[in-house]
Structure 1
Amino acid sequence: MIETLLVLDTGSSVLKFQVFASDNLTVLMRGKVSGIGTRAALEASVEGSDEVIKDILASSGHDAALLAVLNLIDRHDDGWKIMAVVHRVVHGGQQFVEPVIVTPAILSKLEALIPLAPLHQPYNLAGIEASHELAVHAADIACFDTAFHAQQDPLFTTFAIEAELRDKGVRKYGSHGISYEWISSVLAKDHPRLASGRVVAAHLGNGASLCAIRDGRSVDTTMGMTALDGLPMGTRSGAIDPGAVTFMLRELGMGAIDVEDMLYERSGLKGLSGISGDVETLLASSDPRAAFALDYFALKVAQYAAMMATSMGGIDALVFTGGIGENAAPVREAIIKRLAFLGGFKTIVIPSNEELMMALHARELLRSRS
């Protein structure tokens, strides 16, 4: 029997998964279910095999997606026993600052945080609910994207608003913390001198943010109370004058739901270009609007990187990760060029591995209970 950890990243339409051996954390299987809510399809591969497993699901909900994954693991029949299902949860609020085993009471508290991450949290929790029903002998473990930033000084987490609102949790939390924690662990192993220095980490993908990391700890980050603030993203606006939002509500007659949908779904690179929120598509386009959107993105990343450097009193390294950070060399070069005035600093690309970071946390948590 091989004890395993099933790591899930559950979104609105896609459930990504990896199966790890819990002893040495080697990947045994990986894949995804796409088309959740419409025409769901499973695609997976077993490590060490060239076979690609594909299947069309009869049902399309999150329960059906997870059931298909569990059935696949069962059919593979290599004596794998799932000890825990490990879930990425975007928002842990002020309470959840480290991985936890999810109980009904904890799940209820996480549901209360849905307004802070409306694009992600409901689906993260749908994965937990499905796992609770379908993988009854496995522990459900939640790892939080906000946790890595939990020890930031209040100087970097406080909004300039009245105390009554601050006391109700209106503050910065940050995101992409699992990715930044992975970067810190890689730096500690492969670049120990940089790990003890001042690092600006750039998680650039459909969601994007920057983090100031000094001595392996989060000092500052660009995302705010929600996953909307800071950098422009694939379809999210990033930072915008709050007065622009009140103008839309008061003068343009837009409702709160429409404004929220516009800021989350119709803005960012998609809104700027009028073409797409996908950087690969924009790089391949000859439309000047695509070039403008990419220039704007590079400018904003550079501006915020300089802000992160200010939070640490300088910069020793700029680390790129995420789909754009790892694969879009022209975007990286444009960002670095705009930061040349800061003087010499090292640039590194570190592939993201949030799943392994989550598996490490889960193994440690399970061992602490045994």
Structure 2
Amino acid sequence: MSRASDRHATRGDLVLVLNCGSSSIKFALFDGGQDPLPRAPAWNGKVQGIGGPSPTYGETGIEPAPVELDADHPYRSALQRIREGVLARLDGRRLAAIAHRVVHGGSKYFAPVRVDAGVLDDLKGYIPLAPLHQPFALEAIDILLRERPDLPQVACFDTGFHHTLPIVEQLLPLPWDAWQRGLRRYGFHGLSYEYMATALPERHGDAARGRTVVAHLGSGASLCAMQGLRSVATTMGFSALDGLMMGTRTGALDPGAVLYLMEIEKLSLEEVGRILYHRSGLLGVSGISSEPRVIVGHEDDDGEAGERARLSLALYVRRIVREIGAMAAVLGGLDLLVFTAGVGEHNAFVRERVCADLAFLGVALDQGANAGNAAIISAAGSRVLVGVEPTNEEWIAARQAIAIVRDRTH
């Protein structure tokens, strides 16, 4: 990556966005030379299977292909492969910054921040709160800080959008000193919800500024209740385990069940963690997959397999419906319901089942529009406007990073 300090960052520079998981890195390169910043990246893709036997590298529009990674340092090697792709696309321009999706900013970080050694140490303290994502984003930042200390690394927090939550939504019913130590409901998927706060009024006008619930349904899943495009309630809380049933995560769970697993069944903390994060949710109940589109194909199977498939999807939908009802109660009604993220954008049958159970709120679907994943899927007579809106977390992160860099140059 070319040398580009923040002192010399210009409007023609590029910004790279990295979204790091335990075995994958999504990347997107945005052209900061255009104002407003284009919502489509100039180049993007994904390295998958990092640390596994068959990693792949793929750019959007190109079939993923096997990639050779250093077995001892697979993450560093994956970053190097992305670096090579960036270098090939600089075309005389400079890389102004790298934006990182960081899931948890704790009680200290809400706004995007340039990461130095002190900030990095702070963020490492939040790894137990987001073990599926936090350590890997920080590993990438650490590597790049050491290799390119002159290149700004900007942390963009999934918790940031929920800074507007009223205190009553942040509080946990624990002893008061827990609040003082930072145990509170933070909320997540904030980059996605921040994009919704930009895109929804563009599409739906003033309706988006009213009583809105956004359902971010992906491998991780949550809801956000918005009033005036600000977060007023959300389903994820202290950690990304709370709220909705997810692909492999439990969602909200009676803490007594955790105590039982540890005290009666004598499972270790590590074993319980694996159950809660990796072996539960749709995968755990169905025994088939963490993907609704896969499970639905087994609902007509005979015997236990079919029953578990049906039950897993019924529970998944029930939890979504229950929590939308709770969000509507907080808002005092519902004007707009929006589905986003992988499941929300592409699984019409999930939307159909959820909306059928929300008929009591006046929700009515246009079945043809829903089947086609249209931007508006509610029927003409529906009292609630229902939409589908693709999310764009990478664009939000790029925009935040550019703002940080430009602030430091003026």
TM-score range, shorter chain: over 0.9
Could you tell me how far apart the structure 2 residues matched to 1:174 and 1:58 are? 35
* Residue of structure 2 in register with 1:37 after alignment: 51
Matching residue's letter, 1:342: L
**Contact 1:85–1:131 (CA under 8 A) maintained in structure 2:** no
* 1:130 CA displacement: 2.2
Which aligned pairs between 1:194-213 and structure 2 lie closer than 5 A? 194-213=207-226
* 1:255 CA displacement: 1.2
Could you tell me how far apart the structure 2 residues matched to 1:63 and 1:106 are? 21
Match of 1:19 among 20, 24, 29: 29
Matching residue's letter, 1:357: I
* Residue of structure 2 in register with 1:255 after alignment: 268
Does residue 336 (structure 1) correspond to residue 343 (structure 2)? The answer is: no
* 1:194 CA displacement: 1.6
Matching residue's letter, 2:263: R
Matching residue's letter, 2:14: T
* Residue of structure 2 in register with 1:301 after alignment: 320
* Residue of structure 2 in register with 1:116 after alignment: 129
Structure 1: any 5+ residue segments left out of the alignment?
none
Could you tell me how far apart the structure 2 residues matched to 1:174 and 1:164 are? 20
Does residue 314 (structure 1) correspond to residue 333 (structure 2)? The answer is: yes
Could you tell me how far apart the structure 1 residues matched to 2:407 and 2:294 are? 46
Could you tell me how far apart the structure 2 residues matched to 1:280 and 1:334 are? 13
**Contact 1:202–1:321 (CA under 8 A) maintained in structure 2:** yes
Could you tell me how far apart the structure 1 residues matched to 2:115 and 2:90 are? 27
TM-score by length of 2: 0.86
Which aligned pairs between 1:171-320 and structure 2 lie closer than 5 A? 171-285=184-298, 286=300, 287-320=306-339
Matching residue's letter, 1:360: R
Does residue 353 (structure 1) correspond to residue 357 (structure 2)? The answer is: no
Q: In the superposition, relative to structure 1, how do residues 188 and 364 fare at CA in structure 2: closer, same or farther (>3 Å)?
A: farther
Higher alpha-carbon deviation: 75-84 or 299-308: 75-84
Matching residue's letter, 2:43: M
Q: In the superposition, relative to structure 1, how do residues 77 and 141 fare at CA in structure 2: closer, same or farther (>3 Å)?
A: closer
Higher alpha-carbon deviation: 87-96 or 276-285: 276-285
Which aligned pairs between 1:126-165 and structure 2 lie closer than 5 A? 126-165=139-178
Higher alpha-carbon deviation: 286-295 or 84-93: 286-295
**SS of alignment partner, residue 111 of structure 2:** coil
* 1:51 CA displacement: 6.0
Could you tell me how far apart the structure 2 residues matched to 1:297 and 1:58 are? 37
Could you tell me how far apart the structure 2 residues matched to 1:120 and 1:310 are? 32
**Contact 1:301–1:335 (CA under 8 A) maintained in structure 2:** yes
Could you tell me how far apart the structure 2 residues matched to 1:51 and 1:151 are? 40
Could you tell me how far apart the structure 1 residues matched to 2:332 and 2:265 are? 42
**SS of alignment partner, residue 88 of structure 2:** helix
**Contact 1:57–1:68 (CA under 8 A) maintained in structure 2:** no
* 1:186 CA displacement: 0.4
* 1:55 CA displacement: 5.5
Matching residue's letter, 1:57: E
Q: Over residues 212-269 of structure 1, what are the superposed CA-to-partner deviations in whole Å (9 max), with x where a residue is unaligned?
A: 0110100000001000011010000111111111111111111111111101111000
Could you tell me how far apart the structure 2 residues matched to 1:98 and 1:194 are? 27
Q: In the superposition, relative to structure 1, how do residues 288 and 53 fare at CA in structure 2: closer, same or farther (>3 Å)?
A: closer
* 1:53 CA displacement: 7.7
Could you tell me how far apart the structure 1 residues matched to 2:69 and 2:343 are? 34
**Contact 1:83–1:137 (CA under 8 A) maintained in structure 2:** no
* 1:34 CA displacement: 1.0
* Residue of structure 2 in register with 1:324 after alignment: 343
Higher strand share goes to which structure?
A: 1
**Contact 1:5–1:85 (CA under 8 A) maintained in structure 2:** yes
* 1:76 CA displacement: 4.1
Could you tell me how far apart the structure 2 residues matched to 1:5 and 1:178 are? 17
**SS of alignment partner, residue 33 of structure 1:** strand
Does residue 8 (structure 1) correspond to residue 8 (structure 2)? The answer is: no
* 1:364 CA displacement: 1.6
Could you tell me how far apart the structure 2 residues matched to 1:130 and 1:66 are? 9
Matching residue's letter, 1:346: L
Structure 2: any 5+ residue segments left out of the alignment?
1-9, 301-305, 363-382
Could you tell me how far apart the structure 2 residues matched to 1:294 and 1:78 are? 49
Query: Aligned-pair RMSD on alpha carbons?
Result: 1.6
TM-score by length of 1: 0.95
Matching residue's letter, 1:32: K
Q: Give the count of matched residue pairs.
A: 366
* 1:107 CA displacement: 0.3
Matching residue's letter, 2:19: D
Q: Over residues 54-81 of structure 1, what are the superposed CA-to-partner deviations in whole Å (9 max), with x where a residue is unaligned?
A: 4612415211111111112223452242
* 1:185 CA displacement: 0.5
* 1:133 CA displacement: 3.1
Matching residue's letter, 1:41: T
Q: Taking every aligned residue pair, what percent have the same amino acid on both sides?
A: 39
* 1:342 CA displacement: 1.3
Q: In the superposition, relative to structure 1, how do residues 55 and 21 fare at CA in structure 2: closer, same or farther (>3 Å)?
A: farther
Q: Over residues 178-225 of structure 1, what are the superposed CA-to-partner deviations in whole Å (9 max), with x where a residue is unaligned?
A: 001101100122222122201000000100000101101000000010
Which aligned pairs between 1:37-116 and structure 2 lie closer than 5 A? 37-38=51-52, 39-45=54-60, 54=65, 56-60=67-71, 61-76=74-89, 78-116=91-129
Matching residue's letter, 1:322: A
**Contact 2:56–2:64 (CA under 8 A) maintained in structure 1:** no
Could you tell me how far apart the structure 1 residues matched to 2:94 and 2:248 are? 39
Matching residue's letter, 2:245: P
**SS of alignment partner, residue 42 of structure 2:** strand
